[in-house]
A and B are shown apart, each in its own frame.
Chain A
Amino acid sequence: MTLNEISNLISSQEYITDPSISMSVYLSNTLQKPLLVEGPAGVGKTEIAKVLSSAFNTELIRLQCYEGLDASHSLYEWNYQRQLLHLKIMESENQSIDKKEQAIFSDEFLLKRPLLQAILNKEQSPVLLIDELDRADEEFESFLLELLSDWQVSIPEMGTIKAVKIPMVVITSNRTRELSDALRRRCLYLWIDYPDLEKELKIVMAKNPGINQKLARQITEFMQAARKLRLDKVPGTAETLDWARALAALHIDHLDKEVVSQTLGLVIKDWQDTRHVQDSLSELLEKVGVTSKL
């Protein structure tokens, strides 16, 4: 696929792309390399994987990372209860240990977790989303290296399993900690920042086709101004879209102080931030061209 084809494919999924996103996806697709996406929360990192899955009409396999995530939760686990039962049943049979071992460490007792599912997919390359990798421990990151470079995993009881179709891998990180250089080397890097005014407006219009254009502009201008405040949890595009959707559902066609105060909870998710924004509300509204009558 060419760069233009990729760009059109992404755009067709109502995802407002830019040259760096299209280029990264193109390169990732051409080189069959994972795409490491970093950026603040709520700017559409996870959405890229969803869009790719939808655009290529393939399965999306998601691995949500968290502290303590290990191979048994991400790659495979043996169904121990069934294995124990099976061993009990086999007690009466006079079988050798090798035979017993072969029987209980077979495909029948294997619980396939997202990573194994992704490389065993025989029909079409799935999209594997490894979400918020920075939340997992460094040990898990090291464990991923074999998979990401050689597309194979080792299961001691079964040997090495190679990927049937190389999955399209999207790794996201909110940078709560730095990922290792070894992992970075195996990936293409994409940084997604908060969108500028025009891009955010396009996103709001694309995701809410029926929204009043004036309201959409006011919302995006307000969000751009709010991001410049010192906030604990800076609102991302996801919050902009939630807010736009809510205001459109309430049939509101313009912003005013009352509307903003009543719906601020959709945008600001921290009580100190809420106080801060409320204190600066008149100033923020002035920036978007709304003069307060209150």
Chain B
Amino acid sequence: MDALKPGSLAVHLVGFCRFLRSKGFIVGPREESEMFQVLENFDLNDIENFQLALAQLLCKSRQQQLDFADYFEQFWQELFKSFNAKVKLSSKKSVHRKKAATPTTAQLKNWLHNNRGTHTEETAFYSGESEISGQDLSHYQSESVNELVKLVNQIAHNWQSRPGRRKVKSKSPGQIDLRQVLRRNLSTGEMINIAFRENKLQKPRLVLVCDISKSMEVFTGFSVQLLYAFQNSYRSLETFMFGSELHHVTNLLKQQSFNSAMQHLSSQVPDWSGGTRIGYCLDRLIRVYGSRMLHGRVIFLMISDGWDTGDIELLESSMQYINRKVKQLIWLNPHASKPGFQPRVQGMVAALPYIDYLHGVHDVESLKDLRSKI
């Protein structure tokens, strides 16, 4: 900090806030003003406390806290380099593991484009490397996404069944709404006009897990659209993608436009068209998110062809666990809509006893079919 000229720190702090904003942090003028208010009373030579104060002020989630150390180091190191000054930042190592090289949006688009409509040979393999090689995002414009949104809404409507504890107004006689009764009859003093209320119906929560490995490459364009449609039409939903690693993509998909969501996905999910470790990824999901996301009010939707070269026993035990925890386990296998489909791949065979409902979904028509059956 000493290397900075007096008066310029404020400018750099604002720059740091902008940098964080570009990384998805919610840092607005209010946060900036609070930051200055707090830092007035801080010894700025105490880097550790300075960093901790900024982290506590500017991070609004666990993930942001994990990323903060990297961003802090990155920003100030770059700044100090540009000042050509020798400043030693805290040597404390970042707890956040380095991300694998991520494909650019252009690469992803190129990959989606080239593979659209081509039917690659299904190959199951595990590889740490991911590749970008097929289908065009631009072919899947918002019209088809909008159609999917409508279909998803119709599917979701069927799930709206369980009465919650929140009360809403009701026309049919039931529980009397005293508040409304009093308001309606205040002018007369007689309790003639009776109002009723009932329990509001609640939709179950969804956990959506989508395979984006090499063997699913042909269907990735449709799968991504489907995920976007679910994420933006269904309220209580957590979305994951996996290949050889598991990625929590709920926030990446919550974007105003489909293209923007794709941009976020392409820049932050490194696993496109790589290997498949279903068991490992489900195990990760259970360990990291299981306690809060898997419970009796959840419908678990898995989109995968079941090709897996990982640990099959782990896949089986994970499926057994998920089946025990959730309300319903639905597996959407793109191949299952083909005539004469038999679940023969070992991942599918291992998972089958724990699936409540297996259905083929690979395009809009098959989704309509799902809507009519579910």
> Helix, strand, loop or mixed for chain B's interface?
helix
Contact of B189 among A31, A91, A174, A184 (CB under 8 A): A91
- Chain B residues lying within 8 Å of A56, measured Cβ to Cβ, are none
Question: How many angstroms between the C-alpha atoms of A232 and B295 in the bound complex?
Answer: 11
- Chain A residues lying within 8 Å of B286, measured Cβ to Cβ, are 230
- Chain B residues lying within 8 Å of A230, measured Cβ to Cβ, are 283, 286-287
Question: How many angstroms between the C-alpha atoms of A138 and B203 in the bound complex?
Answer: 13
Question: How many angstroms between the C-alpha atoms of A215 and B141 in the bound complex?
Answer: 64
Total interface residues on A, CB under 8 Å, equals: 51
CB distance from B163 to the nearest CB of A (A): 10
Question: How many angstroms between the C-alpha atoms of A230 and B287 in the bound complex?
Answer: 7
Contact of A27 among B56, B165, B167 (CB under 8 A): B56
- Chain A residues lying within 8 Å of B292, measured Cβ to Cβ, are 134, 174-177
Which chain B residues in 85-123 approach chain A with CB under 8 Å?
none
Contact of B164 among A2, A3, A68, A87 (CB under 8 A): A68
Which chain A residues in 156-185 approach chain B with CB under 8 Å?
174-178, 181, 184-185
CB distance from A64 to the nearest CB of B (A): 14
- Chain A residues lying within 8 Å of B293, measured Cβ to Cβ, are 176
Asked whether A200 is an interface residue with its Cβ less than 8 Å from the other chain, the reply is no
Chain B residue at smallest Cβ distance from A176: B292
Structural contact, B291 and A40, CB atoms closer than 8 A: yes
Question: How many angstroms between the C-alpha atoms of A48 and B59 in the bound complex?
Answer: 19
Question: How many angstroms between the C-alpha atoms of A97 and B31 in the bound complex?
Answer: 48
Structural contact, B236 and A84, CB atoms closer than 8 A: no
Q: A31-B38, A181-B26 are in contact. Are A67 and B65 (CB under 8 A)?
A: no
- Chain A residues lying within 8 Å of B166, measured Cβ to Cβ, are 67-68, 70, 137, 139
Asked whether B22 is an interface residue with its Cβ less than 8 Å from the other chain, the reply is no
- Chain A residues lying within 8 Å of B65, measured Cβ to Cβ, are 189, 191
- Chain A residues lying within 8 Å of B55, measured Cβ to Cβ, are 20
Which chain B residues in 275-307 approach chain A with CB under 8 Å?
283, 286-287, 290-293, 295
Mask for B319-336, Cβ within 8 A of A = 1, else 0?
000001100000000000
CB distance from B348 to the nearest CB of A (A): 23
CB distance from A172 to the nearest CB of B (A): 13
Segment with Cβ contacts to A, from B8-16, B72-80, B178-186, B261-269 = B178-186
Asked whether B358 is an interface residue with its Cβ less than 8 Å from the other chain, the reply is no
Q: Please tell me the size bucket of the interface on B.
A: 35 or more
Question: How many angstroms between the C-alpha atoms of A19 and B51 in the bound complex?
Answer: 11
Which chain A residues in 194-224 approach chain B with CB under 8 Å?
none
- Chain B residues lying within 8 Å of A67, measured Cβ to Cβ, are 164-166
- Chain A residues lying within 8 Å of B201, measured Cβ to Cβ, are none
CB distance from B337 to the nearest CB of A (A): 33
Mask for A1-33, Cβ within 8 A of B = 1, else 0?
011000000000000000110011001001101
Chain B residue at smallest Cβ distance from A156: B183
CB distance from B185 to the nearest CB of A (A): 9
Chain A residue at smallest Cβ distance from B188: A97
- Chain A residues lying within 8 Å of B59, measured Cβ to Cβ, are 189
CB distance from B113 to the nearest CB of A (A): 33
Question: How many angstroms between the C-alpha atoms of A100 and B182 in the bound complex?
Answer: 12
Question: How many angstroms between the C-alpha atoms of A169 and B287 in the bound complex?
Answer: 31
CB distance from A185 to the nearest CB of B (A): 5
- Chain B residues lying within 8 Å of A91, measured Cβ to Cβ, are 189
Asked whether A275 is an interface residue with its Cβ less than 8 Å from the other chain, the reply is no
Q: A23-B56, A68-B165, A181-B26 are in contact. Are A83 and B38 (CB under 8 A)?
A: no
Question: How many angstroms between the C-alpha atoms of A24 and B292 in the bound complex?
Answer: 24
Most buried by A among B61, B178, B191: B61
Chain A residue at smallest Cβ distance from B65: A191
Asked whether B313 is an interface residue with its Cβ less than 8 Å from the other chain, the reply is no
- Chain B residues lying within 8 Å of A185, measured Cβ to Cβ, are 26, 28, 30-31, 60
- Chain A residues lying within 8 Å of B165, measured Cβ to Cβ, are 66-68
Q: A67-B166, A139-B166, A234-B291 are in contact. Are A177 and B56 (CB under 8 A)?
A: no
- Chain B residues lying within 8 Å of A38, measured Cβ to Cβ, are 62
- Chain A residues lying within 8 Å of B64, measured Cβ to Cβ, are 189
CB distance from B236 to the nearest CB of A (A): 7
CB distance from A174 to the nearest CB of B (A): 6
Structural contact, B60 and A20, CB atoms closer than 8 A: no
Structural contact, A20 and B56, CB atoms closer than 8 A: yes
Contact of A177 among B30, B182, B189, B205 (CB under 8 A): B205
Asked whether B57 is an interface residue with its Cβ less than 8 Å from the other chain, the reply is yes
CB distance from B119 to the nearest CB of A (A): 38
Question: How many angstroms between the C-alpha atoms of A2 and B49 in the bound complex?
Answer: 13
Structural contact, A80 and B179, CB atoms closer than 8 A: yes
CB distance from B59 to the nearest CB of A (A): 5
Asked whether B81 is an interface residue with its Cβ less than 8 Å from the other chain, the reply is no
Asked whether A226 is an interface residue with its Cβ less than 8 Å from the other chain, the reply is no
Asked whether A287 is an interface residue with its Cβ less than 8 Å from the other chain, the reply is no
- Chain B residues lying within 8 Å of A187, measured Cβ to Cβ, are 60
Asked whether A188 is an interface residue with its Cβ less than 8 Å from the other chain, the reply is yes
Which 7 A-B pairs rank lowest in CB-CB distance, beginning with the nearest? A68-B165, A184-B60, A80-B178, A68-B166, A175-B292, A176-B292, A191-B62
Interface residues of A (CB under 8 A from B): 2-3, 19-20, 23-24, 27, 30-31, 33, 38, 40-41, 66-68, 70, 72, 78, 80, 83-84, 87, 90-91, 97, 100-101, 104, 134, 137-139, 174-178, 181, 184-185, 187-191, 230, 232-234, 272
Q: List 10 A-B contacts (CB under 8 A).
A: A30-B41, A68-B164, A72-B179, A84-B182, A138-B235, A139-B166, A178-B238, A178-B250, A189-B60, A191-B65
